[in-house]
Amino acid sequence: MPIIKSAKKRVRVATKATILNSKTKRSLRGALKTFAKSPSSKSHSKVYSEVDKALKKGVIHKNKAARLKSRASAKAKSSGVKHTKTAPKKPSAAKKAPAKKK
């Protein structure tokens, strides 16, 4: 058990990070298994999303992320699933009429 205050904090921080990383890995594996079991456009998008999240959080290496995406795309192509990329929705700017002066 650490004695120094900063070492105690590092233990707490590392414990929290371990829990968050394991949750991210678990959701990634779940998405991969779901896609492997029954490939569909929705599950393919979910795989891409989970891989990107894990990569952004630093849970997996960028090359592993690229490999997982590539394998998922190859499986989707062989099973006839099309990956539809959804463009980010832009908020529609509601135009207000200018205020009338009295």
Q: All domains of the chain, ordered by start, with CATH?
A: 5-79 (1.20.58.110)
Q: Looking at residue 81, what is its pLDDT? A: 82
pLDDT band at 52 (very low <50, low <70, confident <90, very high): very high
Q: Looking at residue 25, what is its pLDDT? A: 97
- Please, are residues 53 and 24 in contact by the beta-carbon 8 Å criterion? yes
How far apart (Å, rounded) are the C-alpha atoms in residues 7 and 18?
16
Q: Looking at residue 97, what is its pLDDT? A: 75
Greater confidence (55 vs 97) lies with 55
Q: Looking at residue 82, what is its pLDDT? A: 78
Q: Looking at residue 83, what is its pLDDT? A: 67
Alpha carbon separation from 20 to 1, 69, 80 (Å, rounded):
23, 22, 35
Q: Looking at residue 90, what is its pLDDT? A: 67
Other C-beta atoms lying within 10 Å of the C-beta of residue 76: 19
Give mean pLDDT, residues 26-40: 96
Alpha carbon separation from 54 to 34, 66, 101 (Å, rounded):
17, 12, 55
- The answer, yes or no, to whether residue 42 has pLDDT greater than 80, is yes
